[in-house]
């Protein structure tokens, strides 16, 4: 059974137009398109996959916006808020634990990703210039970290010996370098034509000028992607905070999420003012707050980073 019976002159083979018109079969890469049943099953399968991914997000956002009445009537969660209100958000941002944690997370994310891009870009640039003194041992040293890592206890002891326990730096410093990101950026820098760099050098440009005037502007895309990727990593960092942060005031958002949403600790008492919104909405509002930044950068991330992963992994 062929689905499209309409003639499609555009699709017909330029070599044998008559044949194509007679058979009226659309082909892709030479083979005929599958029949209705196969296409239907595929469609249903993919629709279900997408629904399974999206439904939780819809329910979370809706419940965070719903009022007490509707939540009680629905028995806990709603899929569409009939009477949307931002009370839950107002309550968590009136100050108190969630507000503070959000600010902490924003700070760590901004500082961490900015520093991390700088460090990775400088290292990658230095390793991308051919014949630099010592670039081979440095490269190998960086690459080896992809194979081996020290383990949790020695890492913890290092942070402790450095006196970084309960400091924001414990969340930022260990994640600054990533061998994988250095490789991707280095590959990108190495693709800049040698002639441009040579021409600049003949014109009297210093290494710093070559980096800032030529390399960085030409690699804006990869820098943005590495930056975004680091931002997501810092925003999502959970375990370093569990290990290294003791005082509640310094908690990043992920720890607040764990305590109030995963472990179900009642949050009302930790919020200033009279808490009107139901527990459920508060929990979902915290969840949404932690989702928003990722959803904001997501369009850029998935478009570019898919490319980056492919460059890093398949290219060979």
Partner 1 sequence: MASPASAGKRASGWQRFKRDRFLLLLALPGVALVLLFQYVPMLGNVIAFKDYQPYLTITESPWVGFANFEVIFNGDPAFLNALRNTLIISFLQIAVVFPIPIALALLLNSLLSEKIKRVVQSILYLPHFMSWVIVVALFQHMLGNAGIYNNWARQHDFPQLNLIGDPDLFFALITSQAVWKDAGWGTIIFLAAISRVDLELFEAVAVDGGGRLRQLWHVTLPAIRSVVVLLLILKLGDVLTVGFEQIVLQQNQVGLETSEVLDTYVYNYGIVGGNWGVSAAVGLVKGLVGAILVLGANKVAHLFGERGIYSKW
* Residues 126-155 interacting with partner 1 (rule: CB under 8 A): 126-127, 129-134, 138, 141-143, 145, 147-155
Q: Name the minimum Å distance from CB 24 to partner 1.
A: 16
Binding segment (CB under 8 A) for partner 1, from list 82-90, 213-221, 267-275, 282-290: 282-290
Q: Where are the alpha helices (DSSP H) in 66-134?
A: 68-74, 87-92, 97-128
Size of the site for partner 1 (CB under 8 A): 98
Binding-residue pattern over the window 202 to 241 for partner 1, x denoting contact by CB under 8 A:
----xxx--x--------------------x--xxxxx--
Length of the chain: 316
Distance of CA 108 to the CA centre of its chain: 15
Closest to partner 1 by CB, 195 vs 274, is 195
Closest to partner 1 by CB, 79 vs 110, is 79
Binding segment (CB under 8 A) for partner 1, from list 12-20, 94-102, 214-222, 308-316: 308-316
Closest to partner 1 by CB, 32 vs 273, is 32
Closest to partner 1 by CB, 2 vs 272, is 2
| Spatial CA neighbour of 290 closest among 242, 240, 254 | 254
Tokens of 94: 């009136």
Q: Name the minimum Å distance from CB 35 to partner 1.
A: 11
Closest to partner 1 by CB, 94 vs 307, is 307
Integer Cα distance of 234 and 228 in angstroms = 10
Tokens of 255: 């720890």
Write the DSSP string, 134-199. THHHHHHHHHHHHH----HHHHHHHHHHTT-TTSTHHHHGGGS--HHHHHHHHHHHHTS-HHHHHH
Closest to partner 1 by CB, 22 vs 264, is 264
Integer Cα distance of 307 and 190 in angstroms = 17
Q: How far apart are the first and last CA of the chain?
A: 42
In this structure, are residues 213 and 205 in contact, taking their beta carbons and an 8 Å threshold?
A: yes
Q: Name the minimum Å distance from CB 274 to partner 1.
A: 25
- Examine residue 302 and tell whether it contacts partner 1 (CB under 8 A): yes
Closest to partner 1 by CB, 86 vs 238, is 238
Closest to partner 1 by CB, 176 vs 274, is 176
Footprint (CB under 8 A) of partner 1, residues 3-32: 27-32
Give the DSSP H or E segment for 232.
helix 220-236
Footprint (CB under 8 A) of partner 1, residues 252-281: 254, 257-258, 261-263
Which one-letter DSSP state was computed for residue 313? H
Binding residue (CB under 8 A) for partner 1 from 55, 73, 190, 292: 55
Binding-residue pattern over the window 167 to 206 for partner 1, x denoting contact by CB under 8 A:
------xx-xx----x---------------x--x----x
Binding-residue pattern over the window 59 to 98 for partner 1, x denoting contact by CB under 8 A:
xx-------------xxxx---------------------
3-state SS track over 24-63:
CCCEECCEECCCHHHHHHHHHHHHHHHHHHHHHHHHHHHH
């Amino acid at each position: 059974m062929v689905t499209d019976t309409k003639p499609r002159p555009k699709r017909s083979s330029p070599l044998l137009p008559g044949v194509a018109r007679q058979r009226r079969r659309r082909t892709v890469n030479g083979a005929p398109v599958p029949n209705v049943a196969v296409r239907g099953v595929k469609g249903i399968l993919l629709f279900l996959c997408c629904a399974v991914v999206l439904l939780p997000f819809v329910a979370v956002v809706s419940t965070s916006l719903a009022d007490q009445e509707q939540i009680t009537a629905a028995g806990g969660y709603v899929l569409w808020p009939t009477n949307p209100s931002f009370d839950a958000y107002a309550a968590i941002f009136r100050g108190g634990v969630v507000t503070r944690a959000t600010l902490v997370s924003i700070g760590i994310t901004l500082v961490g990703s900015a520093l991390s891009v700088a460090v990775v870009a400088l290292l990658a640039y230095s390793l991308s210039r051919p014949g630099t003194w010592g670039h081979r041992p440095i490269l190998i040293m960086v690459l080896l970290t992809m194979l081996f890592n020290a383990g949790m206890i020695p890492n913890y002891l290092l942070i402790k010996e450095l006196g970084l326990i309960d400091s924001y730096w414990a969340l930022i410093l260990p994640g600054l370098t990533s061998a994988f990101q250095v490789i991707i950026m280095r590959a990108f820098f190495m693709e800049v034509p040698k002639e441009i760099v040579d021409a600049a050098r003949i014109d009297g440009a210093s290494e710093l000028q070559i980096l800032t005037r030529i390399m960085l502007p030409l690699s804006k895309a990869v820098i943005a992607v590495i930056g975004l990727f680091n931002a997501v990593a810092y925003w999502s960092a959970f375990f370093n905070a569990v290990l290294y942060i003791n005082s509640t005031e310094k908690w990043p958002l992920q720890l607040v999420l764990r305590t109030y949403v995963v472990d179900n600790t009642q949050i009302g008492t930790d919020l200033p003012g009279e808490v009107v919104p139901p527990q459920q909405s508060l929990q979902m509002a915290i969840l949404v707050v932690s989702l928003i930044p990722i959803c904001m950068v997501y369009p850029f991330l998935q478009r570019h980073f898919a490319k980056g992963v492919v460059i890093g992994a398949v290219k060979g």
